[in-house]
Amino acid sequence: MPATDQYWRNLSTMHKVFAGSAFALFAATIVMMADDQQRDWKQYQRVAEELRVDKLQAELASYQSEEFQQQVTSLEEQIEAASLEVEQNADRVAELQEELSDLGGRIELLARESKFQNARRDVARANYDIGVRDQIPEDQLQELLDRFEAEQVRAEEYALNLEEVVGRQDQIKSELNLLYEERDEATAEKKKLETDRDRLAEQIDQLRPDSPLVSAKRALKTWPIIDGFAPIYKINQEWLPDLPIQLGMTSVARFDRCRTCHVNINEFAAGNVPMYPHGSFDEDEYPHPYSSHPNPDLFLTATSPHPINDFGCTICHDGDGSGTSFQSAEHTPDNPVVAEEWHKEYGWHSNHFWEYPMQPGQFIESSCLKCHHNVVELGINEQYGASAPKLFEGYNLIREYGCFGCHEINGYDGTQPIGPDLRLEPQTPEEIAKYATDPNQIAGRMRKVGPSLRHIATKTTPEFVAYWTEEPKRFRPSTRMPQFFNLTNQQDDLAHDLQPVELAGIAAYLHERSQPLDLLSPKEGYEPNIERGKKFFGERGCLACHSYDDEAFAGITADFGPNLSKVHAKLLPGEEGFRWLYTWISEPERYHPRTKMPNLYLTPEGEGDNYVDPAADIAAFLLQGDTQEFPAPTYSEEALNELVQLYLSKAMSKAEAAQTFERRYINTPRDEIASDEIELARETEDEIVAEDTWQHRKLVYVGRRTISRYGCFGCHDIPGFENARPIGIALQDWGRKDTSKLAFEHIAEWLHHHGEPDGSSTHEEIEDILTGAIADGDADPQDLIKTYFYESLQHHSRDGFLWQKLRQPRSYDYMKTTTKAGWDERLRMPRFPFTDDQIEAIATFVLGLVADPPPEEYIYNPTGRALDRIEGERLITKFNCAGCHVLDMPEIAHAFDPDNFPSPGKGSDEFEEAFDLLLDLKPPHQAETGETDAEGRPIVRWHGMVFGPPDPDDDLEDQEYAFDTWETVRVGENVYAPGSRVLVPATDLVEHTGGRGGDFAHWLVPQLMESRFQNNRYLAWQASPPPLYREGTKVQTPWLYRFLKNPDQIRYTTVLRMPKFNMSDAEAMALANYFAAVDGVPYPYQRIEQQEPVYLEAREALYHEEFPEESSQDYLETSWKVLNAPLCIKCHSVGGQEYRSLNPEKDIRGPNLQRVERRLRPEWLQVWIYKPKWITPYTSMPVNFPNRPQQQLPELFGGSALWHNESVADALMNYYWLMEHIGEMAYTPESTEQAAPAEAAGAGG
């Protein structure tokens, strides 16, 4: 083709097109740059900057106030006056400064000469050492030594001269400082005030420069392109390579850019408080994204457990940390109303493609489970309080209701922890042995939550079993057992026919397989007393776990065990039911070896007419009333056969099933059957099965299959199901379960047409809530949470699915039962009696189960005391220790009035040594809160108990509380000892919390005051379960372990005994360690210094030095005499002497003192002997050896009360050695004028 000089296209047109394109591209670039400048995060940073300036200006304004100017003026006047005084002493100042200058020169000269002289001395020493090495003649060696000594003398003279001159220099400096002191202090104070003011002004000037040039320069930095070099507004991010995030098939480093918008999130003020507290601008607080993170002691700060540089944000909150816009950060609204607001304001929409959307506010606590697998520390924590209370509640609900019986929550992948571990403990010896021999497996440790059904035939009738199983709350409204029958997928004719068969089958199987049990009986001829049984029921501890509908027990709300008001109605009638209940009350483990119910030691007491059997009396009280007759389920034989055929068809062909019906047994030897079909096998190979036997076996077979289907063995010990596994899906990773695997079925239609317990439409209810919330801008928070769950369910999210599953678990079968292949394919999960709040708490826990732990260094893996506290809290909950015992004292907050407190410090009859030891044992608690009341009086908080409540009928101004302090209280410089009586007018009382635990004790005390002790509160407390406040400082850990395993009687004043709990050795040791860990004392073993030879030898020497007239006596022997003098024996068994009451109506027996050596810690014992009320304010034990002029036992330790106190403690801590080497003793003082103090003797310890 020939060449041509023509352009392919018109050049003029091309120029125009390119020019237009260039202009368009330029315009697009400008628009892009403008849009980039208007990014949301830049706007947030600009607003945050304005807020910071406003805050700084508000702070600066306080420095421009008249009060501040007066303070500065005052300091200037002080400086001027002090400067004038310095000028008046100018001659003296000049003289001192001149002398100081001269001394400086002299010191420099003397120091140099001293160094040279020291060098000459060192040369002389070296020459002498060389002479010694070279073994030169003695005279030469002596000459070298003389030379060294001469040089040493001169070196010491130089050093002395230098020291004198330096001393004079220090004197002059001190005198000059004294002259300048007032001026310098005032100058420094003025400089500090001005520095703080200037610092604020400087910060403001950096953000809003006064200089036009600087301001223009700062504005220039925000321009496009230029802001890329030294930007003022920029993306802030945390790079967290050690906290990777899974994206698709790979794991990448986590980048969190949340602080790009939340610029103030880690801004905190002095005192570790949020600098920008969250709230609304109208309340002078700051909404998101301008607020600081709450609880900085726990989060974000460098001193918190979760510093932002190490943890970032999304490991807790989830979301897309790389996103820098509201949408790309993957926020999640708390409810549809917020979602609508976000959509309008930010264009927000749900992004189903991001796997980790941000947690809504109601579920933020769920993320804690990633690292906190023990869970307990999130609900009970001395330092941080309950940091995740909703999550902790959900955890406890799952433990209480036994969800893990069907849904295993395995916290381990082999031996690697991946989350909380809630699994049943091994059920058989073979399973226990398997775990013990496999180092790669960790056994579960949860007990089944329901009662054992292994011996059910000795307890109740088949009719009651069927009646109870059909609807448990019909018999006991407060029961935790869920409902399996008559639920939403069991309302058709087929369910009407088959459910009675299943109920009858369950009852038949349980009674058929029930194992015999040797029941106990009271003494022959004993007639139980119902009224006495009612008294025992109220006093012996039953009400710590159980409740009973009777006016006499008003105020008892315990629900650890069931309400016992109708127990008489369900047991076997007559003697059989009585013997079962008597056995259960007397020895619970006989019926249920893994029961949590303890042995209450209800042993018979007395002889002859005074013989009393508390267990029989309590049984008679509980069984008053007639046994109720319950209807047996009625069913047709056709329905029974239908179920049998259904279940047989799962195990064999239809032909084989038909043959089984014809011959009335399965044609397989019994010992070769491992499945439920064993119930249809012949007992022997030649057995001829009768028709009625066949009918019964079919019913038992259906019962067994029904139990298998519903998983009853997950909560109950049932014969034949020892090796059965949980029937439900495992939950350890349910929080990340693929939503495509959730069967939502026709749930939307169900909620649209039904959904509520009364049959009304959930959809319509949600519509009404949202309409009202949008129109009025106000709605019940619980209603809004319900709307969140509903919307989540509509979008097929896990949250909503779980919510509906916990509300109405069978509703997912709506319109599905007709198309399912068989009756046994219908949903099986029962309905639990959960409230809306409980459902939310459980959902919070389950959604946190993701089985995706961060690297090991981020997992909270406590050791030592922290671990022992967690394990102890778990056991306290498991065995309901707080039902009887006060664990944490009530807290009283009130306006402080010194006139309402006793005198601070030690009393006149108390030893200084005793008070010092008290402060070591119970360090003073700083009671001042920093708050004041309307009159300007400080508000104080301390722990104690009510001694006397006011009369509620009095006018408020006339009401007054009397409290006893249980801790050493510091207010200002004053220290108040425990046991102090504090009077607080009701008008001064700010708050009175109930403490923790001891509900039964708090209920029992007023009952005993009225019935036994003539309104004496102290005696009533002595008869009640003792508080375990600071128990760790009191008892030795090995003793407490032995006591928990086999509690013997310690106190003789209580109306009940410490029961024996069904706990393992490991659990008893963990609980013993817990109390020591809480109080920060050494454990698991204690060093008893008083038993060591070094201590005893020192005491022996000091004894003979202090009391030379007793030099022939041995210290421990003399101490033994003091202990066995007629003081301790009045209340205690001691030294081989048994306690003998002289006046049973008034005498109070104390504990046997032979236990003290192995039971009590020596420092606690010593404080107790000094003054018992410092330890237990309600005790009746007196101060036996007060610091008073009157002497007791003058022939022992010279009558020194201080030595008597200490020697008694030493004798008790060496009790067994003294009993072995000296033996029994009843010491009679030489003087007959010995007498105990006038206080009433009493019990202690």
Cα of 1221 vs its chain's centroid, Å: 48
Q: Are strands 938-948 and 981-985 parallel, antiparallel or unpaired?
A: unpaired
pLDDT value at 1183 more than 70: yes
pLDDT score recorded for residue 1236: 44
Q: Does any domain span residue 638?
A: no
pLDDT score recorded for residue 772: 85
Q: Which of 506, 410, 454, 459 has its CA nearest to residue 730?
A: 410
In angstroms, rounded to a whole number, what is the distance separating the alpha carbons of residues 474 and 479?
Answer: 9
Domain limits for position 241: 237-330
Q: Which of 253, 258, 272 has its CA nearest to residue 317?
A: 258
Q: Does any domain span residue 394?
A: no
Cα of 961 vs its chain's centroid, Å: 30
848-904 residue pLDDT tens: 999 999 999 999 999 999 999 999 999 999 999 999 999 999 999 999 988 888 888
pLDDT score recorded for residue 203: 84
Mean pLDDT to the nearest integer, 164-193: 77
Specify whether the CB–CB gap between 560 and 545 falls below 8 A. Answer: yes
374-390 residue pLDDT tens: 999 999 998 999 999 99
Kindly list the distances between the CA atom of residue 989 and the CA atoms of 722, 976, 1046, in Å, as whole numbers in the listed order: 57, 19, 43
Q: Say whether both 922 and 1060 belong to one domain.
A: no
Alpha helices, DSSP H, located in 308-382: 308-311, 314-317, 336-346
Exposure pattern of 629-644 as b/e (b: 16+ CB <10 Å)? ebebbebeeebbebbb
Here the tokens at position 22 are 């260039």
Specify whether the CB–CB gap between 569 and 627 falls below 8 A. Answer: yes
Alpha helices, DSSP H, located in 958-1015: 999-1011
Which of 985, 1006, 1023 lies at the terminal end of a domain, its last residue? 985
529-571 residue pLDDT tens: 999 999 999 999 999 999 999 999 999 999 999 999 999 999 9
Q: Return the beta strands (E) in 818-958 as ranges.
A: 886-888, 891-895, 925-926, 928-932, 938-948
Q: Please give the tally of structural domains in the chain.
A: 7
226-278 residue pLDDT tens: 887 888 889 999 999 999 999 888 999 999 999 999 999 999 998 889 999 99
Q: Does any domain span residue 637?
A: no
pLDDT score recorded for residue 635: 95
Q: Which of 333, 388, 385, 397 has its CA nearest to residue 365?
A: 388
Alpha helices, DSSP H, located in 952-1062: 999-1011, 1017-1022, 1037-1045
CB count in 10 Å sphere of residue 68 = 14
Q: Say whether both 1104 and 1198 belong to one domain.
A: yes
pLDDT score recorded for residue 2: 64
Q: Say whether both 86 and 170 belong to one domain.
A: yes
In angstroms, rounded to a whole number, what is the distance separating the alpha carbons of residues 630 and 616?
Answer: 26
Sign of CA dihedral 220, 223, 229, 235: positive
Q: Does any domain span residue 232?
A: no
Q: Which of 641, 631, 639, 634 has its CA nearest to residue 661?
A: 641
pLDDT score recorded for residue 1231: 61
Between these two residues, 1043 and 1188, which has the higher pLDDT value? 1043
pLDDT score recorded for residue 185: 77
1001-1030 residue pLDDT tens: 999 999 999 999 999 999 999 999 999 999
Q: Say whether both 1075 and 1103 belong to one domain.
A: no
The pLDDT confidence band at residue 410, using thresholds 50, 70 and 90, is very high
Q: Say whether both 609 and 477 belong to one domain.
A: yes
CB count in 10 Å sphere of residue 706 = 25
Query: What percent of the residues of the chain are helix, what percent strand, and what percent coil, each to the nearest 5?
Result: 50, 10, 40
- Mean pLDDT for the chain overall: 91
CATH code, domain carrying 531: 1.10.760
CB count in 10 Å sphere of residue 532 = 17
Q: Say whether both 1174 and 1208 belong to one domain.
A: yes
Mean pLDDT to the nearest integer, 1050-1057: 94
In angstroms, rounded to a whole number, what is the distance separating the alpha carbons of residues 843 and 932?
Answer: 42
pLDDT score recorded for residue 48: 92
pLDDT score recorded for residue 3: 66
In angstroms, rounded to a whole number, what is the distance separating the alpha carbons of residues 603 and 608?
Answer: 15
Mean pLDDT to the nearest integer, 769-777: 81
Exposure pattern of 735-765 as b/e (b: 16+ CB <10 Å)? bebeeeebeeeebbebbeebbeeeeeebbeb
In angstroms, rounded to a whole number, what is the distance separating the alpha carbons of residues 1083 and 1071?
Answer: 12
Q: Say whether both 885 and 895 belong to one domain.
A: no
Kindly list the distances between the CA atom of residue 874 and the CA atoms of 387, 714, 731, 1059, in Å, as whole numbers in the listed order: 17, 21, 21, 19
pLDDT score recorded for residue 898: 86
Kindly list the distances between the CA atom of residue 9 and the CA atoms of 14, 15, 50, 299, in Å, as whole numbers in the listed order: 7, 11, 57, 68
By three-state DSSP, how is residue 944 classified? strand
1184-1188 CB contacts, 8 Å cutoff, 24+ apart: 1184/1127, 1184/1128, 1184/1208, 1184/1236, 1184/1237, 1186/909, 1186/910, 1186/1237, 1187/908, 1187/909, 1187/910, 1187/911, 1188/909
In angstroms, rounded to a whole number, what is the distance separating the alpha carbons of residues 163 and 305?
Answer: 52
pLDDT value at 206 more than 70: yes
Here the tokens at position 511 are 């009674």
Specify whether the CB–CB gap between 533 and 622 falls below 8 A. Answer: yes
Q: Say whether both 973 and 1102 belong to one domain.
A: no
pLDDT score recorded for residue 1235: 45
Q: Say whether both 1068 and 1091 belong to one domain.
A: no
694-747 residue pLDDT tens: 999 999 999 999 999 999 999 999 999 999 999 999 999 999 999 999 999 999
The pLDDT confidence band at residue 98, using thresholds 50, 70 and 90, is confident
CB count in 10 Å sphere of residue 707 = 24
Which of 985, 1018, 1043 lies at the terminal end of a domain, its last residue? 985
pLDDT value at 1111 more than 90: no
Q: Residue type at 1169?
A: I
In angstroms, rounded to a whole number, what is the distance separating the alpha carbons of residues 330 and 1236?
Answer: 77
Which of 622, 647, 673 lies at the terminal end of a domain, its last residue? 622
Phi, psi at residue 831, to the nearest 5°? -100, 125
Here the tokens at position 414 are 């082999």
Kindly list the distances between the CA atom of residue 551 and the CA atoms of 534, 547, 556, 565, 839, in Å, as whole numbers in the listed order: 12, 11, 10, 12, 33
Measured CA angle at 486 (ends 481, 487), to 5 deg: 80
Bridge partners for 186 per DSSP: none
Q: Which of 848, 8, 705, 791 has its CA nearest to residue 369?
A: 848
The pLDDT confidence band at residue 1232, using thresholds 50, 70 and 90, is very low
pLDDT value at 1243 more than 80: no
pLDDT value at 1234 more than 70: no
CA-based R_g, the chain, Å: 41
Q: Does any domain span residue 815?
A: no
593-613 residue pLDDT tens: 999 999 999 999 999 889 999
Q: Does any domain span residue 221?
A: no
For the sheet with 925-926, list strands across it.
925-926, 969-971, 974-976
Mean pLDDT to the nearest integer, 678-702: 93
pLDDT score recorded for residue 1238: 39
Mean pLDDT to the nearest integer, 1115-1130: 93
pLDDT value at 1090 more than 90: yes
Specify whether the CB–CB gap between 848 and 367 falls below 8 A. Answer: yes
End-to-end CA, the chain: 120
Q: Say whether both 938 and 1003 belong to one domain.
A: no
By three-state DSSP, how is residue 756 classified? coil
In angstroms, rounded to a whole number, what is the distance separating the alpha carbons of residues 212 and 455?
Answer: 93
pLDDT score recorded for residue 166: 85
pLDDT value at 1049 more than 70: yes
In angstroms, rounded to a whole number, what is the distance separating the alpha carbons of residues 185 and 12?
Answer: 85
Percent of the chain with pLDDT over 90: 72
In angstroms, rounded to a whole number, what is the distance separating the alpha carbons of residues 482 and 1005?
Answer: 36
Q: What pTM, to 2 d.p., does this model score?
A: 0.89
pLDDT value at 141 more than 80: yes
Q: Does any domain span residue 313?
A: yes
Q: Say whether both 172 and 183 belong to one domain.
A: yes
Mean pLDDT to the nearest integer, 576-590: 97
105-125 residue pLDDT tens: 888 888 898 899 899 999 999
Q: Which of 787, 813, 812 has its CA nearest to residue 799?
A: 787
DSSP notation for 1171-1195:
-GGGT-TT-----SS-SSSS-SSTT
In this structure, what is the dihedral angle of CA atoms 594, 597, 598, 602, given to the nearest 10 degrees?
-130
Q: Say whether both 1047 and 1100 belong to one domain.
A: no
Q: Does any domain span residue 16?
A: yes
Q: Residue type at 60?
A: L
Exposure pattern of 368-390 as b/e (b: 16+ CB <10 Å)? bbbbbbbbbbbbbbeeeeebbeb
